Amino acid sequence: MAELYENRINANLLLKELEGGIRFGTDALLLADFASAAKRGTCIDLGTGSGVIPLLMLASGSKASFCGLELQPEYASLAAENARANGYGESFKIICGSAADYKSLFESGRADYVVTNPPYMRADCGAENESTPLNIARREISGGIDMFCQAAAWCLKSGGSFFAVYRPDRLVNLLCAMRANKIEPKRLRAVTASAGKKPSLILVEGRKDGREGLIYENDLLIYTDESHTSQTEEMQRIYERF
């Protein structure tokens, strides 16, 4: 395994990460906040990486039982280590495997929630990263959003909620994949650096077997100014929550 280093997320959460690998970022933080309804029941994180999203949710008070699915063995081991080190070894379990094998890995219709920060770049898009783990995490090498939505639909009980963070330019792919798998988009929020800027992330909530009807929430602004020196009150509250 590559060299490990420690990233203290807050006073209560210490995250071990692989040098040159997947790093904790704003997308994970905002998805954990967006999925804050997952207080109890069962929640599956598809593509958990180092386990940061379930760990953030647990550290913020969620009493749900979490299961993280991770394709890459080195990250699956790291997520399990992070869960134990932060005192969540009993409430956060890890499975090493591919979302493509969802039928053999999970019981159908048992999860109350599914969260995912999936690969958001096409396998043939742009220059590849030098790091193979980064390529797998960021590019649809092992499967795209259709596969993740198929897995989510299999895992979710009717009425269960699906939460995802994705790229704005590929939003149509996400929404189409959700509806094709009977996960109806119910809530959407764009994330922008500051007022007047184009969105950099999209947060989406869907409901398994839900009725038609989408709420487009106000944009989430990260900074109050164009020079990005001062965070908005909402972003400050999100950081304080975790």
Domain boundaries, the chain: 25-241
d(CA 191, CA 197) in angstroms, rounded, equals: 10
pLDDT tens, position by position, 169-203: 999 999 999 999 999 999 999 999 999 999 999 99
pLDDT value at position 29?
96
Token digits for 92? 């956060």
Q: Backbone phi, then psi, for 106, in 5-degree steps? A: -130, 150
Return the beta strands (E) in the chain as ranges.
4-8, 14-18, 42-46, 65-70, 92-96, 111-116, 156-166, 183-192, 199-208, 215-216, 220-221
N residues, the chain:
242
**CATH fold for the domain made of 25-241:** Rossmann fold (3.40.50)
For 15-73, the pLDDT digits (tens) are 999 887 778 889 999 999 999 999 999 999 999 999 999 999 999 999 999 999 999 99
Task: Check whether 142 has a pLDDT greater than 70.
Answer: no
Average pLDDT over the chain reads: 91
Residue-level pLDDT at 22: 77
pLDDT, one tens digit per residue, over 160-173 is 999 999 999 999 99
Name residues whose C-beta falls within 8 Å of residue 127's C-beta, 6 or more positions apart in sequence.
Answer: none
Is 131's pLDDT higher than 80?
no
